[in-house]
A and B are shown apart, each in its own frame.
Chain A
């Protein structure tokens, strides 16, 4: 499987009253290629409103660009035939920013996982599907008993976001499009999340487009980085190079605006799961009333 995602000259305009010409250009001439070989993390960093989410929506086929193309395996994603579309959907999957809005409040959280099982034909029987779901929850350090059968508002943000990761684990897409997946999580859960993502890259060969406005996260993930400013990608390269020798003034500005401008100080050590469950999960008394979120 060596299909790539290839953006060329993607431009996205939105109608906007009051803006010059009656439209707003969210993304201008975005071109880049995501290759699954070797599996890698490509970060896309920029300020709020710079067009990051718009690019993610373009790549995910949720928004058709005004001009330019998004290709998967060399074909425009908006012109795929049935089989190609299935292949594209299976291999390009998102993790969204807001762990609260990603679940329909009407249903239990299991539904998101069962939907994946059914829509992508991951299992032939209910038992097989359940085994799959439980294995994937394990893989993201969630206790199936604590998650299955619950409503979204009964889970914490970190738990919900890891349910989304469990969904990714089930689907094993070649590409994960992660749009600020950790911006609403606290530091501890954030690291756990990033580590799981890196594990996925290593174990299942997933390539991640990681969108963020936070340079320390970019640094932690490594790989390469693209800097976007006002809809334009202004700089790209390996993280170490871009962070140490930024060539574009905007990148320098971004670097300077980090409160603790010491990129040499990597976060040390990986967070241990036991440590986390010891402090955060097992430490909390078991939730008795179903309305009480855990953690």
Chain B
């Protein structure tokens, strides 16, 4: 209940956050409806199947965004690719946030040598150049699934979440209300979950949004150099195809432009959420705690 009112309050006070959430909601809606939309576009046929239509059709009322080099409907491709991009964001976002939060809480709350070991490990992962390693990993692991790529990307993105959240845990764990909980016989886990976690929700939200963003663009990066997972089309792969086939010179500009526009919107939406959360919650948390 408190959570809902707080959320409502927060959104009302930050147009940026509201816009970001609205844009993201639209894209999620698009992704959720993608099977239906693709069916509707196909009108009995599968618009994503090779050679369903003629190749390189220019945009028309039948094919709003034209067709690609294999005779697939570009609009249908873009819609289902959006869903794939969001999926990778969600997969990697959830994994890195969960791992990051657990590591951060254990390290920050326990302190001592546990913290030293975990922080050193996190620190090492943070300084490893991520993208080249990701390239190496994907080149090595042929025919990886979307989920596997998500896991691979998470390996490199959880340390960011862990690092930000740990510093927050450190600052919260010495609060008097934690001491009060301890003299009220609360156990460590109970303190973490009921005293610390609620106050960290905005930071966890920020961690999630950044990891998701990183994963979406990481996948685009892999696709653009031809190392994406097999069997799925994400926005990056459409761009890769457009570049590779010289689609722009054939008049098939939507194949290049539309995915980029969608990615830009997604980037903007997640960033607005990120900045909005930070903007609203930092002063607000301070305001509530130390007013």
Contacts and interface: CB of A to CB of B under 8 A. Distances in A.
Contacts of B198: 104, 106-107
B199 A96 contact: no
Contacts of B147: none
B290 interface: yes
Nearest to A92: B183
Interface string B146-185: 0000000000000000000000000000011101111111
B176 A116 contact: no
A266 interface: no
Given A94-B179, A102-B177, A116 B199 contact: no
Interface residues on A, range: 20 to 34
A105 B185 contact: no
Interface in A90-121: 92-94, 96-98, 100-107, 112, 115-116, 119-120
A62 interface: yes
A164 to B, nearest CB: 8
A153 B183 CA distance: 23
A107 B2 contact: yes
A289 to B, nearest CB: 14
Nearest to A94: B183
Contacts of B199: 104-106
B176 A102 contact: yes
Given A89-B185, A106-B198, A119-B185, A100 B180 contact: no
B291 interface: yes
A119 B187 CA distance: 11
A153 B6 CA distance: 14
B77 to A, nearest CB: 45
Given A104-B199, A106-B199, A153 B291 contact: yes
Interface residues on B, range: 20 to 34
A94 B288 contact: no
Interface string A223-258: 000000000000000000000000000000000000
A119 B184 CA distance: 7
A214 to B, nearest CB: 20
Given A100-B291, A104-B195, A105-B288, A119 B180 contact: no
Given A100-B290, A100-B291, A101-B290, A62 B2 contact: no
B180 A105 contact: no
A153 B176 contact: no
Contact of B183 (A62, A86, A106): A62
B177 A103 contact: yes
Contacts of A61: 183
B285 interface: yes
B186 A119 contact: yes
A96 B179 contact: yes
Given A96-B176, A101-B177, A106-B2, A89 B183 contact: yes
Contact of A116 (B175, B177, B184, B291): B184
B168 to A, nearest CB: 14
B176 to A, nearest CB: 5
A57 B180 CA distance: 11
- Which residue, of A62, A89, A104, A153, has the highest number of chain B Cβ atoms within 10 A? A104
A194 interface: no
B289 interface: yes
Contacts of B291: 100, 153
Contacts of A101: 175-177, 289-290
B176 A98 contact: yes
- Which residue, of B2, B195, B288, B290, has the highest number of chain A Cβ atoms within 10 A? B288
B2 A93 contact: no
Interface in A142-188: 151-153
A60 interface: yes
Nearest to B199: A106
B289 A100 contact: yes
Contact of A104 (B177, B183, B185, B287): B177
B178 to A, nearest CB: 9
A184 to B, nearest CB: 12
- Which residue, of B2, B176, B289, B291, has the highest number of chain A Cβ atoms within 10 A? B176
Nearest to B2: A106
A218 B62 CA distance: 89
A151 B2 CA distance: 10
A62 B186 CA distance: 12
B100 to A, nearest CB: 21
16 contacts: A62-B179, A89-B183, A89-B184, A98-B176, A100-B289, A100-B290, A101-B176, A104-B198, A105-B285, A106-B198, A107-B198, A115-B181, A119-B185, A119-B186, A151-B288, A153-B291
Given A102-B180, A112-B180, 14 more contacts: A89-B183, A96-B179, A101-B177, A101-B289, A101-B290, A103-B177, A104-B198, A104-B199, A107-B2, A115-B181, A119-B186, A120-B184, A151-B288, A153-B288
Interface of B: 2, 175-177, 179-186, 195, 198-199, 285, 287-291
Instruction: List the 4 shortest-distance A-B pairs measured between CB atoms, nearest first.
Output: A105-B288, A106-B198, A104-B177, A101-B176
